[in-house]
């Protein structure tokens, strides 16, 4: 096997949550290009069906499963359906996340409902996903769990506190999961993107697509440009592939040097 061969995902079946748009869509397409079959999960059926069709156009099998990641029964059903209908489950990407009203607030202004929502979506759903996937993977020789975190986890995040707190929890959860699941042949890592102009990002910051060319300078990014969803996909391919077979409990930060 050559070095490049080690980055192939042939024979793998990957679930990508929040896979209907943005970073999740890019991850799903990138993994399919590397050879994996893909299960795309999110709440918006039309979007995940469109991504699944793009995966099929690449010659890979794909399935779209409408799922609310904050409902543990639906998360477990997603993992079981993937295993049954696709013949296995070797990689689980927890990408679903964000906020519901996308309004910047300080902690003093934060309603309990918004705190609970963000912790449930951005942290609890990562645990339920890892549990559902891990219980299947441990019976089938192992696999790779990839949790999409954020550089916000490692610094103060004014007006976006619950999200940053949740992502910090994701990083710690990932390290613990990696320690517990390592003996089962399951690797668990995180990818932490810097600023990516997704729909949620643009709404939260009040920016628009016309601002994208100047964002690199505005955010002081050393490499001179804002990130794009396609910048995140290669790291996920690596973490799912044999090339990272001795890597677990780690975080890959991708932020242009910010």
Band of pLDDT at residue 189, cut at 50, 70 and 90:
very high
What three-state secondary structure class fits 64?
Answer: strand
Which residue, among 10, 15, 26, has the nearest Cα to 91 in the 3D structure?
A: 15
Band of pLDDT at residue 62, cut at 50, 70 and 90:
very high
In the chain the beta strands, taken as DSSP E runs, fall at 13-17, 37-42, 62-66, 91-94, 143-148, 186-193, 251-254
> In the prediction, which pLDDT does 145 show?
99
144 and 215 together in one domain: no
Q: List the catalytic residues.
A: 163
CATH number, domain at 65? 3.40.50.720
> In the prediction, which pLDDT does 160 show?
87
Band of pLDDT at residue 199, cut at 50, 70 and 90:
confident
> In the prediction, which pLDDT does 244 show?
98
For residues 187 and 17, give the distance between their C-alpha atoms in angstroms, rounded to a whole number: 18
Average pLDDT of the chain is 95
14 and 99 together in one domain: yes
DSSP annotation of 156: -
Which residue, among 92, 109, 187, has the nearest Cα to 148 in the 3D structure?
A: 92
Residue by residue, DSSP assigns 185-228 as TEEEEEEEE-----HHHHHHHT--GGGHHHHHHHTT-TTSS---
> In the prediction, which pLDDT does 203 show?
80
Band of pLDDT at residue 174, cut at 50, 70 and 90:
very high
> In the prediction, which pLDDT does 119 show?
96
138 and 155 together in one domain: yes
161 and 202 together in one domain: no
139 and 204 together in one domain: no
Length of the chain: 258
82 and 101 together in one domain: yes
For residues 119 and 242, give the distance between their C-alpha atoms in angstroms, rounded to a whole number: 32
215 and 117 together in one domain: no
95 and 141 together in one domain: yes
- 62 in Cβ contact with 40 (< 8 Å): yes
What's the pTM?
A: 0.96
Give me the domain span that covers residue 159.
4-193+232-252
Tell me the mean pLDDT in the region 193-209: 84
Tell me the mean pLDDT in the region 142-157: 94
- Give the chain's domain count: 2
What three-state secondary structure class fits 174?
Answer: helix
164 and 244 together in one domain: yes
> In the prediction, which pLDDT does 1 show?
83
Q: Do the domain assignments include residue 109?
A: yes
> In the prediction, which pLDDT does 227 show?
95
Q: Render pLDDT for 16-38 as a digit per residue (tens, 0 to 9).
A: 999 999 999 999 999 999 999 99
Residue 66: pLDDT over 90: yes
Q: Do the domain assignments include residue 153?
A: yes
163 and 90 together in one domain: yes
Question: For the chain, what percent of residues have pLDDT higher than 70?
Answer: 100
Q: Render pLDDT for 90-149 as a digit per residue (tens, 0 to 9).
A: 999 999 998 777 788 999 999 999 999 999 999 999 999 999 999 999 999 999 999 999
134 and 155 together in one domain: yes
């Amino acid at each position: 096997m050559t070095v490049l061969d080690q980055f192939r995902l042939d024979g793998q079946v990957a679930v990508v949550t929040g896979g209907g748009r943005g970073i999740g869509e890019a991850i799903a397409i990138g993994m399919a290009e590397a050879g994996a079959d893909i299960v795309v999960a999110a709440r918006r059926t039309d979007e995940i069906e469109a991504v699944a069709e793009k995966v099929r156009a690449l010659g890979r099998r794909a399935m779209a499963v409408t799922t609310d990641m904050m409902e543990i029964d639906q998360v477990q059903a997603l993992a079981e359906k993937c295993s049954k209908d696709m013949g296995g489950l070797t990689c689980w990407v927890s990408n679903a996340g964000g906020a519901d009203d996308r309004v910047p607030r300080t902690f003093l202004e934060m309603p309990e409902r918004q705190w609970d929502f963000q912790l449930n979506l951005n942290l609890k759903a990562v645990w339920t996903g890892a549990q559902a996937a891990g219980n299947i993977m441990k019976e089938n020789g192992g696999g790779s769990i990839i949790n999409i975190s954020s550089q916000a986890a490692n610094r103060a995040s004014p007006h976006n506190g619950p999200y940053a707190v949740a992502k910090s929890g994701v990083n710690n959860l990932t390290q613990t999961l990696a320690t517990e699941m390592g003996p089962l042949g399951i690797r668990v890592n995180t990818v932490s993107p810097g600023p990516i102009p997704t729909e949620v990002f643009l709404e939260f910051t009040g920016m628009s697509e016309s601002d994208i060319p100047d964002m690199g300078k505005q955010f002081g990014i050393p490499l001179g440009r804002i990130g794009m969803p396609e910048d995140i996909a290669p790291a996920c391919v690596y973490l799912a592939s044999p090339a990272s077979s001795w890597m677990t409990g780690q975080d890959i930060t991708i932020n242009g040097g910010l």
